[in-house]
Structure 1
């Protein structure tokens, strides 16, 4: 039996101060950090070693995570390691597409830079995570409250709702949940309130050349393995306003006989979601050189 492996990439919220320091000791890391500084106009390494508040700002978080994930991807590939499937959570989808060779490192970083700028400019929204709740009742409430959506369907017992502060508060106050956690974000990501930012980004995305994926990628908005550059670009266009269907992504991977998960990037957010739902899956985390 062939052991099927999936590489998965976390998104915003997984960042940790100090990440990437050891990667700067490698030739590949030095090269990527230098290229990133040329594109961004600031040092990823300095921001990652600096203040939590600055690193947590969308404008900086997204490029920092993408750069570090790409260094780890290419160090893995130097070791002749390749997956059978790829997926990323929100921002993580860009690292997944780079790993699939849909676009090169610098093209992806330019996209992430613009995405972060557009998203950072959106204010006035709110996002709240709900843990352990009645899913049917939640769906019913959301259907009857305007300006709020299910933004991240992370697992059977963990979701994020997004929308106007009033609408999000109305839903979170109406549902019984074990935990209700307000996310530290500036806008209502993955909702219709990101429409203007999404439209600006789509214009930019239209002119970017995509290649056919060398490894199937499960996009956030579809949760189905795809290699078509046309489909993958269309899915990315919908991502900023669409829901992150991570629960379905996990189901799809299990259905495709994935038995090994490698989470690439800081933290263990996605690994823990798999661990709780699928005890039969082997999990590895790669966030630094010591993990190789």
Structure 2
């Protein structure tokens, strides 16, 4: 069966995630490196830290990367990879585009910049059960709000100013809207200053040709061109996550099963709602 490995982003974290990875000898060297680079243990976040972007992004990347290493050590390999938002870094690591140290350095910087990008303050909300045409119209008409995550046919996330997001939620009359506990308006123009600062570091990183195609968030298509993958990652912080389209393209490209590598099962749930025929599996711990 043709399998894609997919990687969750922020929102899938949980206290205690990845702790059983300490039991795998193959994780010891990278865990020691992560503790040295970060100054804290990515497998031991507190209840307070788990909600802080500067902590959760490096921790999620570490857990996903180590689970990836374990799968490879068991003789498993994907036909392609993809990740949702932060998960795109794990997908690039899994494809061999950069090494663990480089990925962790990038993710730690990304988390710090995004956490600091709260002036002016931004807001995000998940929207379920809505009229897509009306949503797109409202995002065009109401200032400072955009579609940030196109997750599935019936679930999206909007991002922007507090006033703009609230106005869209009020006028859309969706089945359900849920404000998100985030430190900024991610995947929107509110991240422009953070994106420009991050780009100075990212441009200097040498991307290797991937061993398998990688789907990018901002294009929803797969590539084996390292420069195309870098350009897509440069755009990612301010561009929408086109996850629904990514899943549709995977199915059209012949993928038959997806494995969600990392804590939770958010992405497999979105896959089920987008292409129910795709088989699904979660790998959130060594035991799974």
TM-score (norm 2): 0.98
Looking at structure 2, the residues matched to 272 and 43 of structure 1 have their Cα atoms a distance apart, in angstroms, of: 29
Task: Count residues with an aligned counterpart.
Answer: 286
1:223 aligns with one of 208, 220, 231: 220
- Please tell me whether residue 110 in structure 1 is matched to residue 105 in structure 2: yes
- Please tell me whether residue 236 in structure 1 is matched to residue 233 in structure 2: yes
- Please tell me whether residue 169 in structure 1 is matched to residue 169 in structure 2: no
- Please tell me whether residue 264 in structure 1 is matched to residue 261 in structure 2: yes
Looking at structure 2, the residues matched to 172 and 226 of structure 1 have their Cα atoms a distance apart, in angstroms, of: 35
User: What residue is the counterpart of 1:20 in the other structure?
Assistant: 18
User: What residue is the counterpart of 2:83 in the other structure?
Assistant: 88
Q: CA deviation at 1:279?
A: 2.3
Q: CA deviation at 1:80?
A: 1.5
Looking at structure 2, the residues matched to 290 and 281 of structure 1 have their Cα atoms a distance apart, in angstroms, of: 23
Alignment of 1:1-292 (within 5 A): 3-47=1-45, 50-51=46-47, 53-123=48-118, 124-291=121-288
CA contact (8 A) 2:16 2:44 kept: no
SS of the equivalent of 2:183 reads coil
Looking at structure 2, the residues matched to 111 and 20 of structure 1 have their Cα atoms a distance apart, in angstroms, of: 20
Q: CA deviation at 1:95?
A: 0.3
Runs of at least 5 residues in structure 1 that lack an aligned partner in the other structure = none
The runs of at least 4 aligned residues of structure 1 exceeding 4 Å deviation read none
Looking at structure 2, the residues matched to 204 and 277 of structure 1 have their Cα atoms a distance apart, in angstroms, of: 35
Looking at structure 2, the residues matched to 265 and 155 of structure 1 have their Cα atoms a distance apart, in angstroms, of: 20
Looking at structure 1, the residues matched to 276 and 221 of structure 2 have their Cα atoms a distance apart, in angstroms, of: 22
Looking at structure 2, the residues matched to 150 and 120 of structure 1 have their Cα atoms a distance apart, in angstroms, of: 20
TM-score (norm 1): 0.96
CA deviation map 1:124-153 (0-9, x unaligned)? 000000001000011111111111100000
Looking at structure 2, the residues matched to 79 and 168 of structure 1 have their Cα atoms a distance apart, in angstroms, of: 45
SS of the equivalent of 2:177 reads strand
SS of the equivalent of 1:45 reads coil
SS of the equivalent of 1:181 reads strand
CA deviation map 1:40-63 (0-9, x unaligned)? 11111222xx22x21111000000
CA deviation map 1:265-290 (0-9, x unaligned)? 01100001111232221111000111
SS of the equivalent of 1:46 reads coil
Looking at structure 2, the residues matched to 207 and 220 of structure 1 have their Cα atoms a distance apart, in angstroms, of: 21
CA deviation map 1:173-230 (0-9, x unaligned)? 1011111000100100000010000000001111111101111000000011101110
The two structures, once aligned, show a CA RMSD in angstroms of 0.8
Looking at structure 2, the residues matched to 279 and 161 of structure 1 have their Cα atoms a distance apart, in angstroms, of: 24
Looking at structure 2, the residues matched to 85 and 45 of structure 1 have their Cα atoms a distance apart, in angstroms, of: 27
Runs of at least 5 residues in structure 2 that lack an aligned partner in the other structure = none
